[in-house]
């Protein structure tokens, strides 16, 4: 049975696929504060997974473009604070 949170969220694999990067990369971006916060869901013996807001796919694509353009994590954080990324 799924809860309402699953309807408004996506998994790490979807975020990675959108940006064409690995899960380690997306988690590193989150650690640097350039991705939205995610929720860690624990499933007992079955391990855990991250649940992201739906706009994380678009943000990952945007972050990758910013990094490819030569921006630093600090510059990207400032750009996010200024509202340069707007989910579509």
| pLDDT single digits (tens) 40-67 | 988 788 888 899 999 999 999 999 999 9
Say what the pLDDT of residue 70 is: 98
Q: Which CATH number fits domain 4-82: 2.40.33.20, 1.10.3450.40, 3.30.70.520, 1.10.1660.10?
A: 1.10.1660.10
| pLDDT single digits (tens) 9-52 | 999 999 999 999 999 999 999 999 999 999 998 878 888 889 99
The strand pairing partners of 49, in sequence order, are 41
Residues 47 and 4 sit within 8 Å (Cβ to Cβ): no
Which range (4-8, 69-73, 80-84) has the least confidence? Answer: 4-8
- What's the CA dihedral at 68, 16, 84, 55 to 10 degrees? 170
Say what the pLDDT of residue 1 is: 38
Residues 67, 73, 78, 80: is their CA dihedral positive or negative? positive
- Helix pair angle (23-31, 12-19), 10° resolution: 100
Q: CA–CA separation, 26 vs 42, rounded Å?
A: 19
């Amino acid at each position: 049975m799924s809860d309402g949170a699953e309807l408004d969220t996506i998994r790490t694999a979807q975020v990675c696929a959108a940006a064409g990067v690995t899960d380690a990369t997306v988690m590193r971006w989150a650690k640097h504060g350039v991705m939205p916060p995610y929720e860690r869901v624990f499933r007992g013996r079955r391990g855990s997974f991250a649940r992201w807001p739906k706009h994380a796919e678009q943000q990952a694509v945007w972050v990758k473009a910013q990094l490819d353009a030569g921006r630093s994590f600090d510059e990207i954080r400032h750009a996010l604070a200024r509202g340069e990324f707007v989910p579509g």
